[in-house]
Every structure is written in structure tokens, then in C-alpha cells.
A and B are shown apart, each in its own frame.
Chain A
């Protein structure tokens, strides 16, 4: 495999700053995004640390209430709009979609680069707004507080979010067209890896939802500048803002979780060396989540003036959207059955995902119950629930995917032991942070206050301790990934010995990915049925590399 002549890869194809900033190579754009979202993750994480430190004691002693409001608003905005939404799609989606479908690039490489610049512009504006006064409305920007009463910046950060929305639209648009038009010969829809199905469903949500939140935020900006669309003092209706906002912002949760589900659907068959159970159901459930996900936004408005009949319908639909999620979870579990399971670090993240997503999903059903929601609305129960989905689900998926494809992206092997340690620390730290919040919320602790009655202190101390462990878990990968770039072993084409078109390429891949267009003749995850044939003697890690 080793040759004396230096192989051209996308990483060494150019070394100038210009070759990176003006690149149209989807793999380099993945790296650009990866660096940017990591910076945003650190900023969002620092804000989370400030919040958790403040909540160690019942008194508001570390931050003033104003600063606290700004801290959780910045945490929310940065994590949702600038980290989670672009996380898997803009990095792994960008890197892998062309590789998995046998294309040389995405459909519109220049628009792909443009999306990163749009993202960067929006992020810069939002951060400038933070540095010059902040924003204290919460990430939801609810009117009329945001339009009439907030004394902080509103127009500037809202403009940042508005602009960043377009980077998401451009990414989703690019992926849809790419998946439709750029597939290699023979790669029919039902031969696509499930990651592609997940990215397709995600892109649909991005393309159909993001424009709506963009126009909604634009209307709020106009209101802030003197228009009166949502102004209740002149007959405007703030609940209309909430409807329009959640029409996107609920599906946005699926923008975060669907890609993670796609990643898990790749990792599970890889480390069980087994054909995935229920391929068609997993593929279809991604689309079902995308579609039903658009019809559940009203469950954020159960305590508003929304009519009771609408609330009942939204409650039922919210139960319905849990079905395709459950379909996926059962299929992953069924794939493990009699598989040749091995516990490399990506697999540990994937199993962690399954556990955390299960808890997050089931507590979502609690919240879909109209009566119970009255009790826990705006408490830490809700905070814990959506963190189980967005952190326990989406970030576990991001981490799992990063560990799984890092050898392909960087061409290097990272040390396995610290990676396993990181996976376990994140799992333990995450539960430590957020499980107590379920209890605190159920007991009635409201969210978004920087002080609280002393009886909640034990739970809050537990939560802050968990956050400390979680922070260590999140920092570890940074060090061993950076270490691997210099000192890691060369990965070779297929370090895991798994199937998949991307693993037939060099690591890191050539700038044009494929020297000749591949022709696909088989379904994905076509592992020999070892478990059944060899019973308990089935080995692992010995499957011959993919010959697609």
C-alpha cells in the first residue's frame, strides 16, 4: 500500500490559505465547517459552564440576572443555529454524500462554498451583537418581548440568525439536487446507504422549513423597527409569531437528530458485521419523521391561546411522530441481535446514542400529553428532555460519526483507549448533568432563572458535577484527534474492515474522489450472514474489504 511517491490527496493538493478559502472541494469545505462549528461549540459550551456554575448555589451570586439571561440566550442561539444545525450535515454530509453516491463533488460546488461564507457572515454578526450588548430574549426571540421591551440588541443578532438560515437552505438545496442527480450508475434509491436517506430527509426539512423561520425573524426585525405585525397593543398577535417560529423550529430538531440517526445506521451494521435489519423501514421512517415532523409544532403552544381542538390534534400527531423514531430504534436493536458485535469507540458512541435517544424520545411523549404538559411546561423537565435529544442524540451521533470517519477524513488512526474513555465520560457526564434536571423540573423548578429555592440545590449540584465530567469528555477528542494528525498511524483505505463505497477510496481521498466513476451492483451492508452460518464461532473484523 505504501509507495515512495507522495500520493495526491485533498489535504495536500494545495497549501496556501487561498487554496483553502477559495476551495470548491466538498471535502475541504467539510474541514472549513468543522473548524467553524468547533469554535462555536466552545463558545456555546463556555456559556453552558457559566450557567451551570451559577446554578451551584440557590442564590444569584455569580452572574447578575441580566448577564444570566444573556448567557443562556447566547448558549441557545450558538448551539442551535451555529453548531447543531450545521453540525453533521455541513461536515459529514458534505464529506460523505459525494463519496457514498460515487460522485466527484456535490451538484453545486460554488454554492457549497458560498454557504460557508454565508454561515460565517451570520455567525460574525451574531457574535459582534453579543460583544456589543448581547441579547436576552432566549433563543426563541418571542414577541412582544423581543420587539418592544428588550433593552439589549435584537436587530443585529436576529439579522445574524436570518443570514445563517440561508447557509442552511443552500446546504439542503445542494444535497437534494446532488442525491437526485449525481448518483453513480447502478446506485438506485434502495441501494443508497441509510446515511444518504437521512441526509435527504434532513435536506427536505432544511429547504421547506428554514425559509419560514427566516421570514418570521424578518417580520420580528421589522416590528422592532416600528412595524406592527405582532404588536399586541395594536391588535397584533404574538401567538402567530410562535406558530410561525415553531413551524420551523420544531422540524429543526429533526434537522439535528435525523443526520445523527443516519450516522448510527452506518455504525451499527459496521460493528456488528451484519446486514442492517429492516433497511426499507429505516429509510422510509426518515421521510416519515421529516413529513410528520412538520405537523407537530403546536405542541409548543399548549399553554397559549391555541384552541383546545388544535391542541388535541397536535398532541395526537406528536405521538405519531414517535412511531418512526421507534421503528428505527427497534431496527438497530434487531441488527445487534446475533451480530458479531465489537466495541470500537464509534460503536460505544452509537450504543450511547441509542440509550440517550430512548430516554429523550420517551420523555417527549410525556410532554405530548396535554395534562402533563401543563404541569411541566417551562420547567427543567423540558430542558432535560430536549437536551437528551439534541445533546444526547445529536452530539453523540456527531461524535460517533467523527470517530467512525476520522480515519477517512484525516487519513490517520487515533488512539483507541482515550476515545473509549471519552465516549464513556460523555455518556456518564451527560446523564449526570441532565437526569437530575428531569427530577428538578418534575418537582417544579422553572427554567431560565438564575436563583432558585434551596430545596433544589442537591439536584443542581449533581447536575453541575455531571457537566464537569461532560466537559472533560468533550475536550478529550480534541487532543487525541490533533495528536493523530501528526503521530497517528496511516489509516489505509479501510481501517475498520467494513463495507461502503467511501471505504474503497484512499484515506484521505483524492481531490476528485473517484478516478473512474464506480458502477454499483449490490445493496449496502451486504455482509455475509456470518452469525447464522458460523453460530457462536463467528469472528469479527475479518470481513474482506468492500468490492462494490
Chain B
């Protein structure tokens, strides 16, 4: 193939069970897509439960949805979409072999992620005090029992989403550190790219969660 123009691969990058770098790269990215399919199925169970109760208890879900702060929700959505942009910039920097720039954009992504989680924590505390946390539920309304199902799903879905963000940010620390050490160049930056896929997936989950949880019956 075109092995004349491309500089030799550092020995340590090519794992011994692969025939060549191309195979290694394709395996890694294909693997990530398969992993994301498992993630879709993982969240899928929750979305199914949501759909089922949303149809069954449509009014209660609208009422419960009004407890959420739409301003904070919208703010967080913008923050998270912004973090997808910074993540894309990190991948772009890797493609350009700019090590410091990779670390900078990853740090920016982590900052935005932290803002999101901070706002989320504030919202959670607020719900707790209002008696809307399902395990500590003392909100009273005619359809309070059904609203409790909504909040069970709300905490399960957003909690699982937040857990994914925390895991992602943990991995980002390692990748940013590696980037500063000059591990990624245009020749090889698979971890950055895979990290990007993961982060975009997590954002995408939120893009579904936001309208389903915050925007019911607000048209």
C-alpha cells in the first residue's frame, strides 16, 4: 500500500496480534460502534419503560414535568451541545498533531461537563427538598402516585446519563495527560477519536432526555 510516504509506525503502537496498523485501527473503531449499540440497548430499557407509562399516565406525566426547571434544562442542553463541539475540536487537533491543543479542548469539554453536572446536582437537591425523590416522596397531589413513577424514571434516566458523563470525564483525564506527553499525532490518535464517539453518544442521549422529561405539554 502507501507505505512509502508514511513514516514507520512506532513499535509499541502496533499490538502483536494485528497484522498491520490499518487492521488495528478498524478493529478499534468498529469495536466502539458495537459498544455503542450495547449502550443504546442499555438505555433502551429505560426509554421503553418511560414510553409505556407516558402513554398510560399522560396527564400525571405532564403535571410532574412542570416541576422541572425548563430554564436550567435548556441551559444544560446548550452546555452539553457546546461540549460536543469542544470534543470535536479535540479530535480535530489530534488530526492536526497539535498535542497541547488536544489537552486544551479536552479540558474545555471537562469544564462544560462539570457545569452540566453542577446544575444537575442543584436540580436534584431542589427535588429532594420538594419531596419529589421517589425514595423520600412526600409531595401530595391527586395523582402523586403516578408522578412518583415519573420521578423514578427521571432519576433513573438522568442518573444513568450523569454516571456515563462521570466515567467519560475520568477517561478524559488520562487522554489529556497522554496528549500532553505527545502520545497522539495525525499518524495515530485512535483513543481520542473513540473518546469523541463516546462523548457524542452521551450528548445524544441527553438530546432525547431533554424533550421527554422537560418539554412535555409545554407547547
**Interface, chain A (partner B; CB < 8 A):** 103-105, 107-109, 169, 173, 176-177, 180-182, 207-212, 214-216, 218-219, 222-223, 225-229, 234-237, 240, 244, 512, 517
Shortest Cβ gap from A383 to chain B (Å): 28
Shortest Cβ gap from A240 to chain B (Å): 6
Known: A108-B31, A512-B17. 17 other contacts (CB 8 A): A107-B31, A109-B17, A177-B27, A177-B31, A181-B23, A212-B42, A214-B42, A222-B152, A222-B156, A223-B152, A227-B135, A228-B134, A234-B145, A234-B146, A237-B56, A240-B49, A517-B19
The stretch from B32-40, B116-124, B183-191 touching chain A is B32-40
Report if B95 contacts A (CB, 8 A): no
A108 to B17, CA, bound (A): 9
Shortest Cβ gap from B175 to chain A (Å): 17
Binary interface encoding of chain B residues 46-80 relative to chain A, with 1 for a CB under 8 A from any of its CBs, else 0: 10110011001100000000000000000000000
Q: Which residue of A lies closest to B133 (CB)?
A: A226
- The A interface, classified by DSSP as helix, strand, loop or mixed, is helix
Question: 3 nearest interchain CB pairs?
Answer: A226-B135, A215-B45, A211-B42
Is A227 within 8 A of B45, CB to CB?
no
Contacts of B19 in A (CB 8 A): 517
Taking a contact as CB atoms closer than 8 A, the residue among B23, B35, B148 that contacts A234 in the complex is B148
Shortest Cβ gap from B139 to chain A (Å): 12
A66 to B45, CA, bound (A): 32
Contacts of B138 in A (CB 8 A): none
Shortest Cβ gap from A298 to chain B (Å): 14
With A104-B17, A226-B134, A229-B153 in contact, is A235–B145 under 8 Å at CB?
Answer: yes
Contacts of A235 in B (CB 8 A): 56-57, 145-146, 149
A237 to B49, CA, bound (A): 10
Is B30 within 8 A of A208, CB to CB?
no
Report if B136 contacts A (CB, 8 A): yes
A180 to B31, CA, bound (A): 10
Q: Which residue of A lies closest to B15 (CB)?
A: A109
With A105-B17, A173-B31, A234-B148 in contact, is A211–B153 under 8 Å at CB?
Answer: no
Report if B26 contacts A (CB, 8 A): yes
Is B149 within 8 A of A219, CB to CB?
no
Is A211 within 8 A of B152, CB to CB?
no
Shortest Cβ gap from A511 to chain B (Å): 10
Report if B141 contacts A (CB, 8 A): no
Is B152 within 8 A of A212, CB to CB?
no
Is A228 within 8 A of B31, CB to CB?
no
A181 to B19, CA, bound (A): 11
Shortest Cβ gap from B44 to chain A (Å): 6
- The B interface, classified by DSSP as helix, strand, loop or mixed, is helix
Contacts of B46 in A (CB 8 A): 215, 219
Is B136 within 8 A of A211, CB to CB?
no
Contacts of A237 in B (CB 8 A): 52-53, 56
Shortest Cβ gap from B179 to chain A (Å): 21
Q: Which residue of B lies closest to A239 (CB)?
A: B52
Contacts of A214 in B (CB 8 A): 42, 45
A208 to B39, CA, bound (A): 9
30 A-B residue contacts at CB 8 Å? A104-B16, A173-B35, A181-B27, A181-B30, A182-B27, A207-B41, A211-B38, A211-B39, A211-B44, A211-B45, A212-B41, A212-B42, A214-B42, A214-B45, A215-B42, A218-B160, A219-B45, A222-B156, A225-B135, A226-B134, A228-B134, A228-B137, A228-B145, A229-B49, A229-B156, A234-B145, A234-B146, A234-B148, A237-B52, A244-B45
With A169-B38, A244-B48 in contact, is A103–B17 under 8 Å at CB?
Answer: yes
A67 to B18, CA, bound (A): 52
Report if B155 contacts A (CB, 8 A): yes
Q: Which residue of A lies closest to B19 (CB)?
A: A517
A209 to B156, CA, bound (A): 20
Give the most central of A107, A207, A226: most B CB within 10 Å: A107
Is A244 within 8 A of B49, CB to CB?
yes
Contacts of A211 in B (CB 8 A): 38-39, 41-42, 44-45
Q: Which residue of B lies closest to A513 (CB)?
A: B17
Give the most central of A216, A223, A227: most B CB within 10 Å: A227
Contacts of B152 in A (CB 8 A): 222-223, 227-229
Give the most central of B34, B53, B146: most A CB within 10 Å: B34
Is B38 within 8 A of A207, CB to CB?
yes
A208 to B30, CA, bound (A): 16
Binary interface encoding of chain B residues 101-141 relative to chain A, with 1 for a CB under 8 A from any of its CBs, else 0: 00000000000000000000000000000000011110000
Contacts of A222 in B (CB 8 A): 152, 156
Shortest Cβ gap from B128 to chain A (Å): 13
Shortest Cβ gap from A421 to chain B (Å): 41
Is B156 within 8 A of A219, CB to CB?
yes
Contacts of A215 in B (CB 8 A): 42-46, 160
Binary interface encoding of chain B residues 8-22 relative to chain A, with 1 for a CB under 8 A from any of its CBs, else 0: 000000011101000
Shortest Cβ gap from B66 to chain A (Å): 19
Shortest Cβ gap from A347 to chain B (Å): 34
Contacts of B155 in A (CB 8 A): 227
Q: Which residue of B lies closest to A247 (CB)?
A: B45
Contacts of A109 in B (CB 8 A): 15, 17
Shortest Cβ gap from A150 to chain B (Å): 18
A111 to B120, CA, bound (A): 32
Is B30 within 8 A of A180, CB to CB?
yes
Is B134 within 8 A of A227, CB to CB?
yes
Contacts of B15 in A (CB 8 A): 109
A434 to B39, CA, bound (A): 39
With A207-B38, A214-B42 in contact, is A227–B57 under 8 Å at CB?
Answer: no
Contacts of B134 in A (CB 8 A): 226-228
Taking a contact as CB atoms closer than 8 A, the residue among B35, B37, B136 that contacts A208 in the complex is B37
